Amino acid sequence: MSDGPRRKDQGETGVIVKQETKTKKPSMYKVLMLNDDYTPMEFVVHVLERFFNKTRAEATRIMLHVHQRGVGVCGVYTYEVAETKVNQTMEFARRHQHPLQCTLEKE
Ligand code: TYC
C-alpha cells in the first residue's frame, strides 16, 4: 500500500460545469364556472368564497360576470389543485341540488 505522489490528485481533478436546472414550471389550469338559470346567485358567491378563497366583493364580481357573460374564471392553479376545486364545487352543488357546473381549461 504505497501512498505515492499519484494518489494525491485522485478525485480532485476535473472540469467544473455549471449545474443545469432541469426543473420545468408546471402547466397551469383555469377553473371556469358556467352560468345556468337555476343556481341562486348567493350560492355561487358562497362557493367562490369557500372553495376559491375569494373575498365577498371579488366573489360577487366573478358571479355577476358569469351571470352576464355565460362563463368566467374562478382561478388558475396547477392540475391537481384545479381538479380538486372542480370536484369540490360539483359535489357541493350536487348535494344542494343545484345544476352549477365548472370545468378545467389548460392555460
Ligand atoms: N344565472 C343565475 C341566476 O340568475 C346565477 C348564476 C351565476 C348561476 C353564476 C350560475 O355560475 C353561475 N340565479
The finding on whether 65 has its CB within 6 A of some atom of ligand 1 is no
Residue pair 35/70 in contact (Cβ under 8 Å)? The answer is: yes
| pLDDT, averaged across the chain | 90
Say if residues 29 and 102 touch (Cβ distance below 8 Å): no
Q: Is 82 in the pocket of ligand 1 (CB under 6 A)?
A: no
- Look up residue 6 and give its three cell numbers: 499519484
Residue nearest to atom 2 of ligand 1 (CA): 37
User: Residue with C-alpha cell 449545474?
Assistant: 19
Q: Percentage of the chain surpassing pLDDT 90?
A: 79
Percent of residues, the chain, with pLDDT higher than 70 = 89
Sheet holding 28-34, edge to edge: 71-78, 28-34, 101-106
Round to the nearest angstrom and report the end-to-end CA distance of the chain: 64
Q: pTM for the full model? A: 0.82
Q: Compute the distance from residue 8 Cα to the ligand 1 centre, in Å.
A: 76
Q: Could you give the CA distance from residue 6 to residue 98 in angstroms, rounded to a whole number?
A: 79
Residue of the CA atom closest to atom 12 of ligand 1? 35
